[in-house]
Structure 1
Amino acid sequence: MSSISLSIFISSVARSTHSSSRNWRIRSSSAAPPFTSLQSAIDKKDSDAVKEALNQLSESGWAKKWSSQPYVSRRTTSLRELTTLGLKNAENLAIPSVRNDAAFLFTVVGTTGFLGLLAGQLPGDWGFFVPYLIGSISLVVLAIGSISPGLLQAAIGAFSTFFPDYQDRIARHEAAHFLVAYLLGLPILGYSLDIGKENVNLIDEKLEKLLYSGQLDSKELDRLAVVAMAGLAAEGLKYDKVVGQSADLFTLQRFINRSKPQIKSQEQQNLTRWAVLFAGSLLKNNEKLHEAVMSAMSKKASVVECIEAIENAAA
C-alpha cells in the first residue's frame, strides 16, 4: 500500500441498492452544512486539504467530534484493565485467530474426502481416477497456501461470509477504525468492505514521510497504534473471540518497526494492550457514534456521509 492504511482482508458485506443509499443521504444531509471543499479534497486524495476543510467545519461549530481526542499518552496497562473495560478473553486478544482458516481447510478436506468416497463406487477405471483427482484438490489448496498465501487468504475471506456473524463483525470492525481515526484527528480518504482492499485508508503526508524514513516518533506511533487496534477492540467488546485482528497486528508491527527509537519486546506488548484499552474506551464512550458509522457503512455511504453520521449522532 502506498498510503498509510489499515487493512483487514475480509470479504464484502451485502450491498444496498442505489436508491436506498440516496434516500439515507438525503435524510442525513437535511440540516448539514455544505461539504464541497471536503468532498473535493477527498476526491483529490489531499490529506492536508481534508484536514483544513474539517478544521473549518469544526471552527464553524459543526464538526465538533473531529480531532476531539487529539492527545494520547501511553502508560503501563494490565490485562485486568482490559477485562474491567469489558473486553472478553483479554489474554487472547493479540493472538491471531485461526477460526476462518480452520473452518475453510476442514470444509475442503471433508468435502473432497466425502466426494472421493462416493466416486470410489463408480464402475471400472472411473472408480480409481476420479477419487484420485478429487483427493488431489486438498493437496493443491495446501500447496497454494505455502507458495502464495495471499490467494488462499482471499478464498478464506470469501468463505468467511457464510458465518452468521460476518456482516456485523466487519461493519463493527471497520467503523471502529473510522471513528477512532476521526476522533484523533487523522484524515480519512476512503474505506472499503471488499476482499483484499485497504479498508480504512488514512493518508497524512507528514506521517507518510516519517514512516518511509523510519523516523516515526513515540507520539505519532501511539496515535497510529490506537487506530490500528480499534477494530480489534470493537470485536473484543462484542464477541468472545476476535477474528479480524491478524492484519491489524501486522500493521501495528509495521508501525513499530518504522519507529525511532525502537521499543523492546516487552514494551511492544504493553503498547498493544494500552492501544486496545484506549481505543476500547473511546468506543464505549461514543457508542452511539460507532453504531451510526456502522449503519452508514452498511449502506455504502461515502466518507463525507459517514462523517455526517458521526456528527448527527453526536448532536
Structure 2
Amino acid sequence: MPFISLPKPLSNHYIHHNLCFNTNLPKWKTTTTRASSSAAPGVDLNTLQSAIDKKDSSAVKEALNQLNEVGWAKQWSSQPYVSRRTTSTRELTTLGIKNAENLAIPSVRNDAAFLFTVVGTTGFLGVLTGQLPGDWGFFVPYLIGSISLVVLAVGSISPGLLQAAITSFSSVFPDYQERIARHEAAHFLIAYLLGIPILGYSLDIGKEHVNLIDEKIEKLIYSGQLDAKELDRLAVVSMAGLAAEGLTYDKVVGQSADLFTLQRLINRSKPQLSKDQQQNLTRWAVLFSASLLKNNKVIHEALMESMSKKASVLECIQAIEGAA
C-alpha cells in the first residue's frame, strides 16, 4: 500500500493513499464524459469533469452538490453524520470481520513468502551446482548461497528497496490484484459517501492509492489542529480498506499503511487521544466503514470492477451512482 508524506504549507491538495498526503500530484488521464453516457437526461457532468481535471477541490464539491440537488449524485455525502462511540472487538466479529482480534497486527505473509522463496531457491540451486566438476563445484554454490546474505543486507541498509521487491513478488498470489481492487475501492467509496471528493487513484503494484482533495481538512492537518469531527471522518476512510479485506479474507494483508496513516492523523489532532482512546477509535472506524461497505455491497463490487478496468474518476462516480 502507498507511502505517506504529510502536506506542505500552502498546498492546494489533500491526498489519500490509503491516506496519502503529497503535493506532487500525478497527471491523471481523464476522459470527458457526456451526461448522456449514464447520467439522467438533462444532467450535465462536464462541470464535474472540468473540476476534476483542474484538481479544484471546492469546484468538485460544488459540482457534486449541484448534481445531488437535481437528483443525480444521490450517494454523494449520503453519510454526513459520523459519531464515534465505544466499540468492542466482539462487535467487529458479529458484523462479519474475520479474525478481528488480529486486525492491528501487520501481516508478514508477503515478506515470509519472498524470503522463503529466495532462501529455498538459492539453497536448491546451491546443492544442484555443487555437483559441477572441479572448482566450479565450489565457487558457483558459494556465489549462489551469498544471494540470501545480499538480500538480508539490502533489507538492513535500504529497506525500501527490499520492500519494493517484496511488493512486486506479491503479485504471484492469486488474490493479490483482487485484494488491491477491493481495498482501494473501499477507500474511494467510503470517502465519496462521507462527502470527501476524490481526485484520482491507482491500482498499480507498489503505487496503490486513492487520492482525496479537501483544502479545509488539509489545513487542519498541516496546522496540527485536526478536530474530533474531522478525525472521525478521516479515520473511517483510513480503515475502509482494512475493513473491506477483513470482511472477505481470513487475514488482512494491506493494513500496515492504513494504520500508519491513522496514527499520523491522530498525532496531528487536538485534543490528543490516550492509547485506549486510540484503540477504540481504530475499532470504531473499522466497524463503521465495514457497516457502510456491507450496506453498499453492490455499489462496492461495481466500483471494484470499474477501477480494475482503470476507469476515470468520473466513470467511477458514475459506477457508484448507477449501481445504487
> TM-score, normalised to structure 2's length?
0.89
SS in 1 for 2:172: coil
Task: Determine whether 1:29 maps to 2:37.
Answer: yes
Shift of 1:30: 3.8
Q: Which runs of 5+ in 2 are unaligned?
A: 8-13, 21-30
1:250-288 deviation line (CA, Å, top 9, x unaligned): 111111111111101111110000000000000001111
Task: Determine whether 1:272 maps to 2:298.
Answer: no
> For residue 18 of structure 1, what is the aligned residue in structure 2?
none
- In the alignment, which of 166, 172, 177 is matched to residue 187 of structure 2? 177
- In the alignment, which of 242, 255, 264 is matched to residue 245 of structure 1? 255
Larger relative CO (CA 8 A, sep 6+): 1 or 2? 1
Q: Which amino acid aligns with 2:192?
A: Y
Q: Which amino acid aligns with 1:158?
A: S
1:78-111 deviation line (CA, Å, top 9, x unaligned): 0110011011111001111111110011001110
> What is the rounded CA distance, in whole Å, between the counterparts of 2:38 and 2:241 in structure 1?
30
Shift of 1:196: 3.0
- In the alignment, which of 275, 289, 292 is matched to residue 282 of structure 1? 292
> For residue 67 of structure 1, what is the aligned residue in structure 2?
77
SS in 1 for 2:211: strand
Q: Which amino acid aligns with 1:29?
A: S
Is 1:176–1:230's contact at 8 Å kept on the other side of the alignment? yes
Q: How many residues matched?
A: 300
What pairs with 1:1-315 in structure 2 (closer than 5 Å)?
1=5, 2=7, 3-7=14-18, 29-32=37-40, 33-197=43-207, 199-314=209-324
> TM-score, normalised to structure 1's length?
0.91
Q: Which runs of 5+ in 1 are unaligned?
A: 10-21
Is 2:35–2:45's contact at 8 Å kept on the other side of the alignment? no
> What is the rounded CA distance, in whole Å, between the counterparts of 2:142 and 2:231 in structure 1?
53
Moved over 4 A (4+): 25-28
> For residue 13 of structure 1, what is the aligned residue in structure 2?
none
Is 2:19–2:238's contact at 8 Å kept on the other side of the alignment? no
> What is the rounded CA distance, in whole Å, between the counterparts of 1:8 and 1:204 in structure 2?
12
- Seen in structure 2, the aligned counterparts of structure 1 residues 222 and 93 have a Cα distance that, compared at 3 Å, is same
Is 1:73–1:222's contact at 8 Å kept on the other side of the alignment? yes
1:174-216 deviation line (CA, Å, top 9, x unaligned): 1100000000000100000113325100121111111111111
> What is the rounded CA distance, in whole Å, between the counterparts of 1:27 and 1:287 in structure 2?
25
Shift of 1:29: 2.3
> What is the rounded CA distance, in whole Å, between the counterparts of 1:187 and 1:48 in structure 2?
9
Shift of 1:153: 1.5
Is 2:19–2:211's contact at 8 Å kept on the other side of the alignment? no
